Chain A
Amino acid sequence: MKIIQQGDTLNVSQIPQLGNAESETFRSRMAAELGTGIQRIEIDLSETRFLDCGGVGALVALRSSARRCCADLTVQVLNPSSQARQLLNLTRLEDFLAPGRG
């Protein structure tokens, strides 16, 4: 997983899979980035070949934590792979986590 801060935006990418097994690591690494003055977190799921319920839960948790940390801090999923998009669709979270993206 690659994490780069560009200005007030945190770009998270190169996530090959985000399942239950990886969700704890993802949560802890994201938690470490909160409260560092960033205003936006972009999670790039273009390379994510596998996403499951646990991974979705981690994204939802990140969004909630970000809101609690800073009311203006937004979390957005970008470029979900077909499998990730299918899962976001099935769980009806596409607009919630990846608004404005197909």
Chain B
Amino acid sequence: MGAQTVPAELELTSMLPAGLFLPGTPHPPEPRLDAGQVIEGAPGNAYHLSLPLDLAAVRPHILEGLQFLLNQGVAAEDLTACELALVEACNNAILYSADRITPVAIELICHADRIDLQVVDHTQGFDWPAKMELPDREVERGRGLFLIQSVMDEALYLRSHRENRLCMRKQRQAAPARAEAPGQEMAEMEKQLALSRQVLSNMANELCAQVMRSRVQQQEMDDRLLAHELEIARKIQESLLPKTFPPLHGFSLSGFCLSARQVGGDFYDLIEMPAGRVLLVVADVMGKGVPAALFAATLRTLLRTATQWTQSTSELLARINRLMYEELAAVDMFITAQLAIADTREGLLQVASAGHNPLLCVALNGSLQAISPEGLPLGILPEFQFEERTVSLDNLGAALMFTDGLTEARNADGDLFGQERLINWLVESRRTCRTARQLTDNFLGELARFQGACTPRDDQTFLVISRETNPCVHPESSLVTPCGALPA
């Protein structure tokens, strides 16, 4: 039997995906075209389809797009590859649609040398696997992406906040010979190239705008999330400050803590100890923000635990320094802290410092003493002996423990508030303020007046001890009057 000659047209038709027909050949009525449209400015080169979220609609719509590609002269083998890739992409887009409403957008762009396919989905998106692998043979799902990558030359999945875009590219097989004269063919190619360039340019611009929009939206979302988390952190940190102060016979206590950011590294604490003693703490973790806040919370917890082991301020600092040294040194951070144990039964104030500002004490006669026991900040040396100083409470009018955010506060001219101004304020205001709370309010007013509209650049924290009912001494007049009798 001789070899049968199959007409080229018939042979091509048999290779086409089912449902496609060569231009000019008899075929059933064409698929509904109202869903598809040739993109303006690129007649015959780009085609857009809107696919409803219905699996049964996938193939008819894709056949419609493939008919467009066929009309562009795309080879049957390429059409089969495009069909499979589009079906897999669209199935995924429908099966995993997040809103179950927005149709899947399909774009087919036919170039002289390649076909670009894009499927825009509204799913949660996914990370395109770095290495595509088939699942085990018994597994039912998970082959779609592998198939897409197998039949396409390139595939790129662009995720964004609003939508995702799967871009697929297939290099075209050699186009069948055309009947046109070489000159006409060249002119047609140039025309198509120009159109392709225009379409690509439009697409690139649109894609660029989409990426920018997506980045801005993502950034806004991240910012909102971060602000929310920082607000929670601020509330947690705020809740760690003592809400009630332990009683300290004959004295009132008041504290203030302001973070330059939402969370900070400053804090104060008051811890009740046996025999009516009270541990007063003011600490400043180097730096600001979340890292400083984490160390501040750790220090606070350790202090509250360590008071069960020792009643000595220098020993407390030494133990905590040993406990925190490795963590602080690992991130090159340190903490300055001042500890004071007030013992009203013995009438003593025991003070130790880890590289912190001095404790300012105003005596009843108005004289000032700056107590500054030697000590390195926590986290500098693992083994360090801290000095301990003891002050009599008998003649104490008021004492101030503070962080450097107070002395380093600046006004609009850039002047520092400074320690001298702080000392002057303490000595002066001690005359008129009866309680620690009044001293606090008075100082905040002073600081506000000094800073003006300048926002604090550092955390500001202080703790005030004030003798409660003893008469105040006015050095200038040497007049002793009850504080309550003084003008406000």
Given the known inter-chain contacts A49-B17, A53-B88, please indicate yes or no for A21 contacting B55, CB distance below 8 A. Answer: yes
Task: Output the least CB separation between A49 and chain B (Å).
Answer: 3
Instruction: Give the residues in chain B near A30, CB-CB below 8 Å.
Output: none
Partner of B56, one of A21, A63, A64, A96: A21
B88 touches A21 (CB 8 A): no
When distances are taken between beta carbons in the complex, the residues of chain A under 8 Å from B95 are 20
Tell which of A19, A20, A87, A90 has the most Cβ of chain B within 10 Å: A20
Given the known interface contacts A49-B18, A50-B17, the answer about A19 and B59 at a Cβ–Cβ threshold of 8 Å is yes
| Interface flags, A10-34, vs B, CB<8A=1, else 0 | 0000001101110000000000000
With a cutoff of 8 Å between Cβ atoms, the chain A residues found around residue B17 in the complex are 49-50, 83
Is A60 interfacial (CB 8 A cutoff)? yes
* Nearest chain A residue, comparing its CB with the CB of B83: A50
Contact of A96 among B137, B144, B151 (CB under 8 A): B137
Q: How far is the CB of A19 from chain B (nearest CB, A)?
A: 6
Give min CB distance, A14 to chain B, whole Å: 14
Complex: A21 Cα to B231 Cα, angstroms: 49
Name the one of A19, A53, A58, A96 contacting B147, with C-beta atoms under 8 angstroms: A53
User: Across the interface, do A93 and B80 meet the contact criterion of CB distance under 8 Å?
Assistant: no
Within 8 A of B (CB), among A38-62: 49-50, 52-54, 56-58, 60-61
Contacts of A91 in B (CB 8 A): 134, 143, 146-147
B146 to chain A, nearest CB (A): 7
B150 contacts A19, CB within 8 Å? no
* Residue A2 interfacial (CB < 8 Å): no
What are 22 contact pairs spanning A and B, CB under 8 A? Answer: A19-B59, A20-B91, A21-B56, A52-B87, A52-B147, A53-B88, A53-B91, A53-B147, A57-B141, A57-B143, A58-B140, A60-B137, A60-B140, A61-B140, A64-B138, A64-B140, A90-B146, A90-B150, A90-B151, A91-B147, A92-B134, A96-B137
Is B58 touching A21 in the complex (CB atoms < 8 A)? yes
Task: List chain A residues, Cβ under 8 A from B55.
Answer: 19-21
The answer to whether B141 touches A19, judged by C-beta atoms less than 8 angstroms apart, is no
Identify 13 new A-B residue pairs, CB closer than 8 A, beyond the known A52-B87, A52-B91. A17-B18, A17-B59, A20-B55, A21-B59, A50-B83, A52-B84, A53-B144, A54-B91, A57-B143, A83-B17, A90-B147, A91-B134, A92-B134
Name which of A54, A64, A86, A87 has the most chain B CB atoms within 10 A of its CB.
Answer: A54
Residue B139 at the chain A interface, CB threshold 8 Å? yes
**B59 and A53 form a contact (CB under 8 A):** no
SS class, residues of chain A in contact with chain B: helix
Q: Write the chain B residue with the least CB distance to A86.
A: B80
List B residues 94-113 near A (Cβ within 8 Å): 95
**How far is A53 from B139 in the complex, measured between Cα atoms in Å?**
11
A52 to B95, CA, bound (A): 14
CB within 8 Å for A50 and B141 given contacts A20-B58, A87-B84: no
B229 to chain A, nearest CB (A): 41
Q: Are B139 and A19 neighbours in the complex by a CB distance under 8 Å?
A: no
Residues on B with beta carbons closer than 8 Å to the beta carbon of A96: 137
Within 8 A of A (CB), among B235-290: none
Q: Are B18 and A53 in contact (CB under 8 A)?
A: no
Question: What residues of B have a CB within 8 angstroms of the CB of A64 in the complex?
Answer: 138, 140
Among the listed A20, A50, A53, A92, which residue makes an inter-chain contact with B137, where contact means beta carbons less than 8 Å apart?
A: A92
- Given the complex of chains A and B, what is the CA–CA distance between A86 and B17 in angstroms? 13
Are A83 and B91 interface neighbours, CB within 8 A? Answer: no
For A52, the chain B residues whose CB sits under 8 A away are 84, 87-88, 91, 147
Contact B59 A50 (CB under 8 A): yes
A92 vs B150: C-alpha distance in the bound complex, in angstroms? 12
B94 to chain A: closest residue by CB: A20
A16 and B19 alpha carbons, distance in the complex (Å): 11
A65 → chain B closest CB, angstroms: 10
CB distance from B63 to the nearest CB of A (A): 10
